[in-house]
């Protein structure tokens, strides 16, 4: 068996008990052998300020090192006001600077949006994709993952309750592994 691809999991919610964090932890547990998923935290990143590019804070350096070391990135995000949470946009900005030194460049990516609402974070998913295309993140187009009614997604132990959702997410991860394999050679690492 070949070495698994290291995937940085970036969660767009800071809440400890967020649905998105529960989903990330479930995905880590069900990842196929081809993927090794690890959460990269974004809550300690300062707001992006170009004045600090020359001497980044330790949280910025650590974040950028973890993303740079990853083979791919999986974004899991809620939707705030039909867009991505500010903390997630800030992480994109921090990782993309200084100009010409983006840690996102060429890393295969995928997005799962999860929302308590019925449309599953559709707006956030597409806004995030728009930014990632600009950052030269080859985005997996299919399968798309908009998970609605997130409040009913997990059982009392925090596991995904419905077999059909669990099977969909396993298929999503398998497709992402294939996407990474096809796009790893074109990455900028």
Q: How far is C-alpha 11 from the chain's CA centre? A: 6
As a whole number, mean pLDDT of residues 67-83 equals 96
Whether pLDDT at 64 is above 70: yes
pLDDT of residue 185: 58
User: Is-contact 102 96, C-beta < 8 A?
Assistant: yes
Sign of CA dihedral 1, 25, 123, 70: negative
The reported pLDDT for the residue numbered 157 is: 87
76 pLDDT band, cuts 50/70/90, is very high
Task: Return d(Cα 175, Cα 163) in angstroms, integer.
Answer: 18
pLDDT at 158: 86
CA distance 83 to 172: 22
pLDDT tens for 3-43 read 999 999 999 999 988 999 999 999 999 999 999 999 999 99
User: Is the confidence at residue 135, as pLDDT, over 90?
Assistant: yes
Is the model's pLDDT at 1 over the cut of 60? no
Domains and CATH numbers, the chain: 5-183 (3.40.50.360)
Q: What is the mean pLDDT of residues 166-185?
A: 94
Residues β-bridged to residue 72: 7
Q: Has residue 48 got a pLDDT over 50?
A: yes
What is the C-alpha separation between 6 and 3, in angstroms, rounded? 9
Q: What is the pTM of this model?
A: 0.95
Strands 5-11 and 72-77: parallel
Which residue, among 112, 157, 117, 109, has the nearest Cα to 136 in the 3D structure? Answer: 109
């Amino acid at each position: 068996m070949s070495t698994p691809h290291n995937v940085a999991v970036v969660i767009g919610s800071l809440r400890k008990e967020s649905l998105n964090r529960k989903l990330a932890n479930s995905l880590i547990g069900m990842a196929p052998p081809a993927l090794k998923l690890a959460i990269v935290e974004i809550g300690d990143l300062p707001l992006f300020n170009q004045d600090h590019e020359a001497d980044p804070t330790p949280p910025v350096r650590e974040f950028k090192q973890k993303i740079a070391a990853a083979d791919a990135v999986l974004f899991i995000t809620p939707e705030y006001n039909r867009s991505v949470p500010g903390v997630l946009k800030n992480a994109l900005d921090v990782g993309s600077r200084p100009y010409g030194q983006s840690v996102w460049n060429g890393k295969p990516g995928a997005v799962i949006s999860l929302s308590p609402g019925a449309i599953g974070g559709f707006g956030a998913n597409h806004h995030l994709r728009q930014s990632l295309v600009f950052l030269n993140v080859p985005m997996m187009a299919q399968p798309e993952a908009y998970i609605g009614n997130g409040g009913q997604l997990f059982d009392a132990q925090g596991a995904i309750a419905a077999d059909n959702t669990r099977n969909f997410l396993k298929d999503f991860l398998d497709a992402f592994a294939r996407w990474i394999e096809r796009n790893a050679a074109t990455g900028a690492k």
